[in-house]
Structure 1
Amino acid sequence: MHAGKLVFAQLMEHLPLRTFHQCVARYSGRYPTLKFSHLDQFLCMAFAQLTYRESLRDIETCLRAHQAKLYHLGIRGNIAKSTLADANEQRDCRIYMDFAMSLIQTARKLYASDSFAVELEQTVYALDTTTIDLCLSVFPWARFRSTKATVKMHTLLDLRGNIPTFIHISDGKMHEVNVFDILTPEAGSFYIMDRGFTDFSRWYTMHQAQAFFVTRAKSNLLFRRVYSRSVDKSTGLRCDQTIALRAPKASKDYPQHLRRIKFYDAEHDKHLVFLANNFDLPALTIAQLYRCRWQVELFFKWIKQHLRIKRFYGTTENAVKTQIWIAISGYVLVAIVKKRLNTEASLYTILQILNLTLFEKTPIDQLVKNTEVQITMSKNNNQLNLFN
Structure 2
Amino acid sequence: MGKNKYFSTKSVFGQLISLIDDSMIKKAVKKHDSNRYVKHFKCQDHLFSMIFCTLEKCNSLREVSGGMVGLSDKKETVRINHLPKKSTLADANKGRKVEFFEEIYNNLLKKYSFVFSDSRIEIALGKKVKIVDSTTISLFKDILKCVGRKASDGKSKGGIKSHSVINADEKVPNLVWFTPATTHDHQFLEKLKCDEHTVYVFDKGYNDYKAFGHFSEQNTGFVTRIKDNAKHQIIQQNEIPENIHSGVLSDEIIEVEVNKGSVKTKLKLRKIKYYDREHKRSFDFISNLFEFRADTIAALYKIRWQIELLFKQIKQNFPLKYFLGDNENAIKIQIYCVLIVNLLLGVVKKSLKRQWSFSNLVSFCRIHLFNYIHLTKFFENPENNWKLDRERDGQLGLFDDYLATG
TM-score of the aligned structures, taking structure 1 as reference length: 0.87
Taking the aligned partners of 1:43 and 1:10, their CA distance within structure 2 comes to 12
Equivalent residue, structure 2, for 1:278: 289
- Asked if 1:168 corresponds to 2:170, the answer is no
Structure 1 segment 1-388 matched on structure 2, within 5 A = 1=3, 2=7, 4-29=9-34, 32-113=37-118, 115=120, 119-136=124-141, 139=143, 141-144=145-148, 147-231=156-240, 232=242, 235-245=246-256, 247=257, 249=259, 255-371=266-382
Q: Identify unmatched segments of 5+ residues in structure 1.
A: 374-388
Q: 1:300 to 1:283 in 2, by over 3 A?
A: same
Cα deviation for residue 193 of structure 1 reads: 0.9
Taking the aligned partners of 1:120 and 1:17, their CA distance within structure 2 comes to 39
SS in 1 for 2:381: helix
Cα deviation for residue 142 of structure 1 reads: 4.2
Q: Deviations over 1:201-245 (max 9, x none)?
A: 111112222211001011222323232222258621111112222
Taking the aligned partners of 1:276 and 1:140, their CA distance within structure 2 comes to 34
Taking the aligned partners of 1:254 and 1:350, their CA distance within structure 2 comes to 53
Length, aligned pairs only: 371
Q: 1:100 to 1:199 in 2, by over 3 A?
A: same
Q: 1:30 to 1:253 in 2, by over 3 A?
A: farther
Q: Which moved more, 1:337-346 or 1:154-163?
A: 337-346
Q: Deviations over 1:68-111 (max 9, x none)?
A: 22332111103312211111111111110121122222333332
Q: 1:96 to 1:108 in 2, by over 3 A?
A: same
Q: 1:29 to 1:70 in 2, by over 3 A?
A: closer
Cα deviation for residue 52 of structure 1 reads: 1.4
SS in 1 for 2:118: coil
Q: Which moved more, 1:29-38 or 1:63-72?
A: 29-38
Cα deviation for residue 308 of structure 1 reads: 4.2
SS in 2 for 1:339: helix
Q: Are the counterparts in 2 of residues 204 and 253 from structure 1 also a CA contact under 8 Å?
A: no
Taking the aligned partners of 2:43 and 2:87, their CA distance within structure 1 comes to 15
Q: Identify unmatched segments of 5+ residues in structure 2.
A: 151-155, 385-406
Q: 1:217 to 1:205 in 2, by over 3 A?
A: same
* RMSD between aligned residues: 2.6
Q: Which moved more, 1:64-73 or 1:280-289?
A: 64-73
Which of structures 1 and 2 has the bigger CA Rg?
A: 2
AA aligned opposite 2:274: F
Cα deviation for residue 115 of structure 1 reads: 4.3
Cα deviation for residue 283 of structure 1 reads: 0.6
Cα deviation for residue 341 of structure 1 reads: 4.4
Taking the aligned partners of 1:254 and 1:166, their CA distance within structure 2 comes to 31
SS in 1 for 2:10: coil
Q: Are the counterparts in 1 of residues 258 and 265 from structure 2 also a CA contact under 8 Å?
A: no
TM-score of the aligned structures, taking structure 2 as reference length: 0.84
Equivalent residue, structure 2, for 1:376: none
AA aligned opposite 2:309: L
SS in 2 for 1:65: helix
